[in-house]
Structure 1
Amino acid sequence: MIELDPSGLPALARWFPVGQPGVAALAEHVLATGNGRWWADRPEAPRVVAVSCGDRAVLRGDAQGLPLAAGRAVFSRAEAREWMVYVKGAPPLPVRVPRGVAVRRLNAEDAPALAGVAPEASWIHATWGGPHGLAESGAAWGAFRRGRLLAVACTYLLGSRYEDVAVHAEPGHRGEHLALACVSALCGDIAGRGRTPSWSCSRHDRTGRLLAWQAGFRLRQEYVHDAL
Structure 2
Amino acid sequence: MIEISPQQLPALSRWFPTGSPGPGALAEHALATGAGRWWADRVDRPSVLAVSCADHVLLRGDPSSLTPDDLARFAGQYIEAPARFRPSLGSAFERVVPWERMLYVQHAQVSLPRPPRGVTVRRLTPEDAPALAGLHPEHAWIHASWGGPGRLAASGHGWAAFSRSRILSVACTYFLGSAYEDIAVVTVPDRRRESLALAGVAGLTADIQARGRTASWCCSRDNRPSRLLAWTAGFRLTREYVHHATGRAMAHQVQAAPVPA
Band the TM-score falls in, shorter-chain normalisation: over 0.9
Q: Which residue of 2 aligns with 1:140?
A: 158
CA distance in 2, matches of 1:55, 1:201: 15
CA offset at residue 67 of structure 1?
2.5
CA distance in 2, matches of 1:185, 1:40: 39
Q: Is the 8 A contact 2:104 2:235 kept in 1?
A: yes
Q: Which residue of 1 aligns with 2:53?
A: 53
Q: Deviations over 1:149-184 (max 9, x none)?
A: 110100000000000000010110011110000001
TM-score by length of 2: 0.83
Unpaired stretches in structure 1, ≥5 consecutive residues: none
* Paired-residue identity, %: 60
Q: Which residue of 1 aligns with 2:200?
A: 182
Q: Which residue of 1 aligns with 2:184?
A: 166
TM-score by length of 1: 0.94
Q: Is the 8 A contact 1:93 1:214 kept in 2?
A: no
Q: Which residue of 1 aligns with 2:25?
A: 25
CA offset at residue 43 of structure 1?
2.5
Q: Is the 8 A contact 2:162 2:169 kept in 1?
A: yes
Unpaired stretches in structure 2, ≥5 consecutive residues: 71-87, 247-261
The DSSP-based 3-state class of the residue aligned with 1:14 is helix
CA distance in 2, matches of 1:34, 1:94: 32
Q: Name the count of aligned residue pairs.
A: 228
Structure 1 runs of 4+ aligned residues shifted over 4 Å read none
Q: Is the 8 A contact 2:125 2:153 kept in 1?
A: yes
Q: Which residue of 1 aligns with 2:229?
A: 211
Q: Deviations over 1:4-39 (max 9, x none)?
A: 134315443431121010011110001111111001
Q: Is the 8 A contact 2:168 2:188 kept in 1?
A: yes
Judged with a 3 Å threshold, the aligned counterparts in structure 2 of structure 1 residues 2 and 126 are, in CA distance, closer, same or farther, namely same
The Cα RMSD (Å) is 1.6
The DSSP-based 3-state class of the residue aligned with 1:100 is coil
Structure possessing the higher radius of gyration over alpha carbons: 2
The DSSP-based 3-state class of the residue aligned with 1:172 is helix
CA offset at residue 63 of structure 1?
1.2
Is 1:96 the counterpart of 2:107? The answer is no
